[in-house]
Amino acid sequence: MKKIYLIGLTVLIFACKVNKTPETDHQKKADELAHKYIMVDGHVDLPYRLKVKNFQMQKEFTGIPVETKEGDFDYKRAKKGGLSAPFMSIYIPASYDTQGAQKLADSLITMVNYIATEKSDYFEVAKTPAEIREIFKKGKIALPMGMENGSPIGEVADVAKYRAKGISYITLSHGKDNRICDSSYDTTHTWKGLSPFGKDVVKAMVKEGVLVDISHVSDDTFYQVVEMSPVPVIASHSSSRKFTPDFQRNMSDDMITKLGKNGGVIMINFGSTFLSSEVAEYRKNLQAEIKSILDKKGLKARDEAAEPIIDEFFAKHPLAFADVKKVADHIDNVVKLAGIDHVGLGSDFDGVGNSLPTGLKDVSDYPNLLAELLRRGYSESDIEKICSGNIFRVWEKVLAYAGK
């Protein structure tokens, strides 16, 4: 669908007789902190977004994201929002076999390196927290990389190869069970968690200093990973299942608690359907209704003749969105269960399409979330941990263990 329709969710505002910092001060302080501290986002899907837009490896190509109206990310918007280090997602669809997955992964890694080379005044590739800190001092945006879906790992030795290519985390699976483990989206339960090969892959990741990312994996996989891993693990872009009880992709309260005991960090996904079951259900019903209308006319959603029908439908039935307060609710829940040391930001910008919450529509909007956290009593130290302190702590522990 080419057009975007918005509707705000009803927000109840309760007034209470307490001394409060004026709203303008909250926003001003949030903007200050967003630029004072390094801000890491665990998952931004820029490379694949550019790939499907037919990104060309040419110097004259204007799509390198310094300033653009397309997508959710570019340099200028990122600097406005205080984003310092977005993990570039090396996303591999579940449909790819190992050989195809490796070719796609290599092409996306090459793309990220190309962007950093061609726009070296703005971007620089990073492989460690120390490198991110140095890049931050230069005023540039660091581009660490995470592989979303471990399907390019054809043999255990590939873990070291991809670490050498700049991959700092591997999301073990994506939308389907793979050779490594089961997926939260799949009902096949091929391995009842990790496969024997998958266990060897996790061991190799620990050895090589690659963060183990349990976003997308099944519950069984998560528990087995946490049980066997001698280092903290991450969820690079997941949210709390408390607010989406039927959405297995998010983490249950028990999983979040165990992640905290493991020392890990969950980086909250901003997608509205990750944040609110009410929004997810509303959207699901709309999709079913428009599908029924198209089916009766013998049309598919991709058909040119379907476009005006879809446009008319959504003009009368606007989409619903969560809001920045709901993102803060998810952070609150993680802090309640696991503590302030175990939560971060994993927006999924450029990956969740037209479902970003009101107040967090692109990478310029992070201060809106920080302002909401300040309203809720989070300290400056808390904000620093959420922005980067927590993921750096985990990442450095993983690197230190590998170094031994």
The reply to whether 178 and 312 lie within a common domain is no
What angle, rounded to 10 degrees, do the helices at 196-208 and 390-403 form?
A: 90
Q: Are strands 234-238 and 85-91 parallel, antiparallel or unpaired?
A: unpaired
- Say yes or no: 144 and 217 in one domain: yes
Q: Domain holding 144: CATH number?
A: 3.20.20.140
**pLDDT for residue 63:** 65
Query: Measuring CA to CA, which residue among 326, 335, 346, 350 is closest to residue 267?
Result: 346
* pLDDT tens column, 188-218: 999 999 999 999 999 999 999 999 999 999 9
DSSP 211: E
Residue 268 lies in a domain: yes
* 106 and 180, same domain (yes or no): yes
Please tell me the predicted confidence (pLDDT) of residue 178. Answer: 98
* 398 and 293 in a common domain: no
- In a domain, residue 88? The reply is yes
* Predicted confidence (pLDDT) per residue in 244-301, tens digit: 999 999 999 999 999 999 999 999 999 999 999 999 898 888 888 888 989 888 888 8
Q: Give the total number of structural domains in the chain.
A: 2
Structural domain contains residue 306? yes
Per-residue pLDDT of the chain (404 residues; tens, 9 = 90+): 333 333 333 333 333 333 445 677 999 999 999 999 999 999 999 999 999 876 655 544 456 789 998 899 999 999 999 999 999 999 999 999 999 999 999 999 999 999 999 999 999 999 999 999 999 999 999 999 999 999 999 999 999 999 999 999 999 999 999 999 999 999 999 999 999 999 999 999 999 999 999 999 999 999 999 999 999 999 999 999 999 999 999 999 999 999 999 999 999 999 999 999 999 898 888 888 888 989 888 888 888 887 888 888 888 888 889 999 999 999 999 999 999 999 999 999 999 999 999 999 999 999 999 999 999 999 999 999 999 999 999 999 999 999 98
Q: Please state, in angstroms and rounded to a whole number, the distance separating the CA atoms of residues 191 and 119.
A: 44
Please tell me whether residues 199 and 317 are part of one structural domain: no
* 61-68 long-range Cβ contacts below 8 angstroms, 24+ apart: 64/115, 64/118, 64/119, 65/115, 66/119, 66/122
Residues 302 and 329 in one domain: no
Supply the DSSP string of 32-77, one letter for each residue.
HHHHHS--EEEEE-HHHHHHHTT----TT---STTS-SSSS--HHH
Q: Is there a single domain that holds both residue 175 and residue 282?
A: no
**What pLDDT does residue 57 have?**
54
Does a structural domain hold residue 143? yes
Six token digits for residue 378: 């989070």
Give me the pLDDT at residue 1, please. 36
- State residue 3's pLDDT score: 36
Instruction: Output DSSP code: residue 170.
Output: E
In a domain, 7, yes or no: no
The answer to whether residue 17 is domain-embedded is no
> What's the gap between Cα 177 and its chain centre?
20
Give domain status of residue 1, yes or no: no
Q: CA-to-CA distance for 290 and 145, rounded, in angstroms?
A: 38
- Whether residues 124 and 169 share a domain: the answer is yes
> Which of 287, 321, 355 represents a domain boundary (last residue)?
321
CB 275 within 8 A of CB 244: yes
- Specify whether 286 is located in the same domain as 391: no
Query: Is 50 in the same domain as 161?
Result: yes
Domain assignment present for residue 5? The answer is no
SS3 (DSSP) at 244:
coil
Q: Do both 244 and 388 map to the same domain?
A: yes
Rg (CA), the chain: 21
Write down the pLDDT at residue 304.
Answer: 86
Same domain, 294 and 341: no
**Residue range(s) defining the domain that contains residue 287:** 277-321
